[in-house]
Structures are given as structure tokens and as C-alpha cells.
Structure 1
């Protein structure tokens, strides 16, 4: 039972960190000319019709990376704190 609670807590922690990263790491909604050209080139290279679709997937990936890094840091700090 304790293992289930730990797993649910870890899942809840990761989801909350992901939602916090979505909330506080905002995407840049105004593209410069060079960014626009880059997004168009990449979306054409990946055969995506709308560069905004690629932009959305790109930022969700960034948010996931931020959430994973925060989760790993919290877990390592917790383990370090517990051993002291």
C-alpha cells in the first residue's frame, strides 16, 4: 500500500510540476522575421502544414523537459535530505 501511495505521489508531483512549467515558462507569441523563417523551414522539412502546429509541439517538449529536470532535482534533493 505504501508503494502505491509513493507512486501516486510521484505522478502527482510530476503533473503539478508540468502544469507549473506551462504556467510560468511562457512561449514567445511574437515571432521575429528570422524566427518565422526558421519555423516555416522546419515545418516544411517535417511536412507540417502550419508552422504554429510545430511551434506548439516544440513548446510542449520544452515544458516537459523543464518538468523532468525539476522533478529529478526535487527527488535527488529529497534523497540527499533523507540520508542526513
Structure 2
């Protein structure tokens, strides 16, 4: 079993934290949980091969893209969670 690169774990944890805060702050919005679940699924698809930073992203890209792909970087931005 390949060990996950600590940088990969940190970026994933940062995104998970943002998603949890987003969902928690919007419990009054019925679609917030659905949106967060969709984003978590998308995030699982966009992981690096072998859990290593810089390895190809396993997400759907037109060509091989090193991880973190631009989508994952954008996903970690606070602006991604603005209403």
C-alpha cells in the first residue's frame, strides 16, 4: 500500500474543512448538503495516482494533468464557497 504524501493529505483536509463549514453554515438551505455531497464525490475522483503530489490526477481531464489540478486548487479557495 502506498503512503499518502503529507501535502496531499493537507490539501484534502483543507478542502474537507471548507466543505464542512459551508454545509454547517447553510443548514437552512435544503440543497447545501446535496451540493456538499456532490463536491465530495468530485473531490474523490480528482485524487493523485498513488496518493503522491505531482502524480497524474485521476479526474477527467483532456490530457494528463499533475496533481493538484487547477480544479482542486480552485476548490481550496475561499472564493469557491461564496454565495
TM-score, normalising length: structure 2:
0.35
Q: Which has the higher contact order (CA 8 A, sep 6+)?
A: 1
Larger radius of gyration: 1
